Amino acid sequence: MSISRKFRRQSEVYKMFGEGDFSDESLKEMYEYESNGVGDLKIGGFSQTPNGYAVGKKNLNITVSMWMDTLRGRVVDGYHVCYGWANLITDLYCDKFPKWWLGSVFKEFFKQKDEQYKSLGREGWVKAHIKLAKRKRKLCRLKSQV
């Protein structure tokens, strides 16, 4: 079985969120499960080492849901989240996450924000915020190298 290049790239993101076994066998199990729905992934228990990729995907989904709640200004655990979408996006672009992945996660949100700004006569604001976030990411990298 050959693991696709696209899945290998996504598996690197799973590693950022996961813990456990990241062996080649675990990668194959996760690929088989994601591609064909075949297999029984171990994501925890007392006597077994969890598949790190499966744990990573689960944690990734939870984290992205929390980010989306923050972006939409929803109430989380009784507190109104009002961090500001531009601040969150900027912070995430300055973090270790790949740009291609962040773009795919927030694609629909950016599209909605763009429509919202267009209706207010402020076309191009979302692109400007994204561009600013990417510039700040470069600055973050430069600071970390010093």
Q: Choose among 43, 44, 58: nearest CA to 13.
A: 58
Residue-level pLDDT, tens digit, the chain, 146 residues: 789 999 999 999 999 999 999 999 999 999 999 998 888 887 766 657 899 999 999 999 999 988 887 777 665 555 545 556 677 777 787 778 888 898 888 888 878 877 776 776 766 666 666 676 676 666 666 656 65
Domain carrying residue 146: 84-146
DSSP class per residue in 8-56: HHHHHHHHHH--SB--HHHHHHHHHHHHH--S------SSS--BHHHHH
Neighbours of 83 (CB within 10 A): 12
* Count of structural domains within the chain: 2
Residue 99 and residue 146 share a domain? yes
Residue 60 and residue 94 share a domain? no
Among 29, 64, 99, where does a domain finish? 64
Residue 41 and residue 13 share a domain? yes
Q: What is this structure's pTM? A: 0.73
